[in-house]
Amino acid sequence: RIAINGQPISESDFAAATRRAAEAARRVEADHPDIGQLTTFELLTAMALDHFHRAGCEVTVLEVGLGGTFDATNVVTPQVSVITTLDLEHTAVLGATLSDIARAKAGIIKPGVPVVVGAQPDGIIPTLTEIAARRGSPMAVAGVDWSWSGTWRDFAATGNWGTFAGLRTALPGAYQVSNAATAIAAAW
């Protein structure tokens, strides 16, 4: 879960990051007993951020673990937020409907920070648009601001950058092409 340039964190760096995170967690939990015990995901997020900082990373990609509103990664103010295609997942935590899940996922949208939204089921874009507008966050939407065509073996992504053709993903599936085009839009 923690990698730099495709290389997983070394065992020794992982152990050192674990020691630092565990010590910090003990201090936080002692100083703020009302928050309870930190979760494994919160510790892993702290470890990843610490590792990236120590390695001098200029750009990092953080994947939200569960939802957005209450996720440990939400302590970061990003350069851009990305919401990929929503589905009925983690409904016990995020809500029973796609609209509920969209509102939970929109928790990553920070005031004034651009948000890139991948292809969505019907009815989701208005919810995300309303939240982004309320937060003053410019929004770029798949199918409106960029598009793609082809398969995972050979696809093109077209947007205000022009057209990038002859692209491929390492993983099969139409949703992989959609995600790759969304990543291109976010990078742009």
Check whether 120 has a pLDDT greater than 80: yes
Reduced to 3 states, what is the DSSP secondary structure of residue 166?
strand
C-alpha–C-alpha distance, residues 148 and 157, integer Å? 4
Q: Where are the alpha helices (DSSP H) in the chain?
A: 11-31, 40-55, 91-94, 98-105, 125-134, 174-187
Phi-psi region of 59 (alpha: psi -120 to 50; beta: other; left: phi over 0): beta
Check whether 30 has a pLDDT greater than 80: yes
**pLDDT tens track for 163-181:** 999 999 999 988 999 999 9
**pLDDT tens track for 151-164:** 999 999 999 999 99
